[in-house]
Amino acid sequence: MSTENDDIADMLRDLLWLNSVIATELIQTTENTSQILRNGNIPDTCRDEHRKLREVAMNIADRYKPGTELRKHLENHQ
């Protein structure tokens, strides 16, 4: 039974990490789309809120699957 529980725990960690990747990429896509539609004029409040949301998602990803390239990748997003 322990192996089955371990497999389920690993699967849940993978799903949490993958959902964090999806969330951060959707945030970035939204920001990029907004920038295009506003001719580059994204309100600072939106940038700050997006940064905070990305940080939450990155913390979740790091908690359940540390050592991936997600944080490094996202820190290079503009």
- Residue-wise pLDDT for 12-30, tens only, equals 988 988 898 898 888 888 8
Write out pLDDT tens, residues 50-72: 888 888 888 888 888 888 877 77
Cα 64 to the chain's mean position, in Å? 13
- pTM of the prediction? 0.71
CB atoms within 10 A of CB 25: 16
Number of folded domains that form the chain: 1
Q: Which tokens go with 70?
A: 């997600």
Q: Domain span at residue 48?
A: 2-75
| The Cα angle at residue 72 between residues 36 and 6, in degrees rounded to 5 | 115
User: Which pLDDT value is given to residue 25?
Assistant: 86
What's the CA gap between 37 and 32, in Å, rounded? 9
DSSP string, 16-37: HHHHHHHHHHHHHHHHHHHHHH
